[in-house]
Each structure stands twice: as C-alpha cells, then as structure tokens.
Amino acid sequence: MKNAKPAANAAHSAIPAKADRAAAAVDAHAHAPGHAHGESPEAALALAEEYCRERGEKLTPIRRKVLELLLNSGRATKAYSLLDEMRQIHPGSAPPTVYRALDFLLSAGLVHRIESINAFTVCHDLTQCQHGILVVCQQCGNVTELHQPKLRQALIAQIEDAGYRVASDEIELKGLCSACQAAEAAPVAAKAGATAPVAAK
C-alpha cells in the first residue's frame, strides 16, 4: 500500500454515466483475485483495519463495507455498481456514501482507481502497495498489478527528460489479456475446423 496521498473528490470525478463491472483483477504475482496475498476477504479486512489503526484512522462500517464489496467481487468495479450493491444492503444509501468511502480508500492506498475504465479495484498488497504499473485489458477490463520498481523509475526518468511531470502515482498500460486473446482465437479456430476438408477413409 502506498503512503497516504490527497484524493479529495477523486472518486467523484470517476463516477460513470452507467453502472457496470470491469473484469477480474488479477495481479502478476498469482494472488487470488481481489484478495491481498490470497487471503480470505475477512483476513484482508482485518489487515486493512489494523493498517488504518496504525495510521490513526478508522475503517468505519461504511468504508469497510465498500472495501468488502470490492474484495468479494474480485473485480474492478464502477462506483455506481458499488452504490447499487450498497442499496441492496442499506436501501437508504446515497451516492455521497460510496463517494466518501472511495475517497478514503484511495487516500489510504487500499484501492486503485483505474483511469482507463473508470473503475476501482483492491490493491493486492494491502500493507505495502508499491506496484506502480497497472496493465489493463481494453476488452474486458482485467487489471494486472506489476511490481517493477526499476522499470517504473526508468520510465519516469524518460518521461521527465521529455519535459513532462507524471500526474499520477500509477502508470497504466493498455493491452489484451490472455483470456480475451483466447476468446478471439476460439471462433477462428472453430471456423477453420468446420471448413477443413474431411480426410478420406
């Protein structure tokens, strides 16, 4: 998890016009989707609560529930989808309820905001998130976290040498995940098999 950083209104600007889900968040170290180090959601929540206490902050019931929803889904999730889920549990939930919780979770480094798909996903290393590079599938929204500090530092140096200042602590790369590659290849393979001549007996 990263050190605290200002995230005021970050979640507010990330709320999309439609409610939907992005795909499974799977990191590069074979952790279970959505769970820190493959921990159960309960263990991950306990870890997050302890971390917040150490920082002198509190994982309130609402913040805990939003984090729990992200952990249980194992998916990068849009804010309105989280709001819909919250309303199933607490019918009176209003948008600011989720927005404020996401603001806190972002500032604490417990979740990532995936800019390119306008969604949120749990950081897989809840106590020492230092990935910095997120690979996002442009077809299904699958998110993979990479821990490559030297690569990130070299990339940042190149960007700064070009006269730019990076606006985010995280770098997103776009691509096509292996599952989507396989899905694209399947119809082609099936079509090829259907048109292949049958060998004479």
For the stretch 41-55, pLDDT in tens is 889 999 999 999 999
Could you tell me how many residues make up the chain?
201
Query: Are the C-beta atoms of residues 149 and 160 closer than 8 Å to each other?
Result: no
> For 57-69, what is each residue's pLDDT tens digit?
999 999 999 999 9
Q: Among candidates 98, 104, 147, 114, which has minimal Cα distance to 25?
A: 114
Q: Is residue 132 part of a domain?
A: yes
Distance CA 70, CA 107 (A): 16
CATH number at residue 176: 1.10.10.10
Position 193 in a domain: no
Average pLDDT, the chain: 77
Instruction: Look at 35-39, 93-97, 170-174, 190-194 and tell me which has the smallest mean pLDDT.
Output: 35-39
Q: Which residue(s) pair with 173 in the sheet?
A: 135
Q: Does residue 194 sit within a domain?
A: no
- For residue 61, the model assigns a pLDDT of 94
Report the predicted TM-score, pTM, of the whole model to 2 decimal places: 0.68
Query: Do the domain assignments include residue 102?
Result: yes
Helix (H) or strand (E) holding 99: helix 95-108
The pLDDT of residue 3 is above 50: no
Residue 199 falls inside a structural domain: no
Residue 88 belongs to some domain of the structure: yes
Q: How much is the pLDDT for 169?
A: 75
Domain range spanning residue 174?
12-185
d(CA 161, CA 23): 35
| Helix or strand run (H / E) with residue 94 | none
Computed on alpha carbons and rounded to an integer, the radius of gyration of the chain in Å comes to 19
Residue 192 covered by a domain: no
Phi-psi region of 151 (alpha: psi -120 to 50; beta: other; left: phi over 0): alpha
| CA atoms of 161 and 155, how far apart (whole Å) | 10
Tokens 């299904």 found at: 140
- Which residues 6+ apart lie within 8 Å of 139 measured at CB? 176, 177, 180
- The answer to the question of residue 52 being in a domain is yes
d(CA 98, CA 111): 13
Q: How far apart are the first and last CA of the chain?
A: 63
User: Range with the lowest mean pLDDT among 16-20, 40-44, 114-118, 161-165?
Assistant: 16-20
Question: Quick check: 136 and 174 in contact, CB under 8 A?
Answer: yes
Quick one: which of 28, 58, 57 has its CA closest to 125?
28
**Domain count for the chain:** 1
- 69-126 tens-digit pLDDT: 998 877 788 999 999 999 999 898 999 999 999 999 999 989 989 887 889 988 877 6
Q: Give the pair of three-digit tokens for residue 14.
A: 């990330």
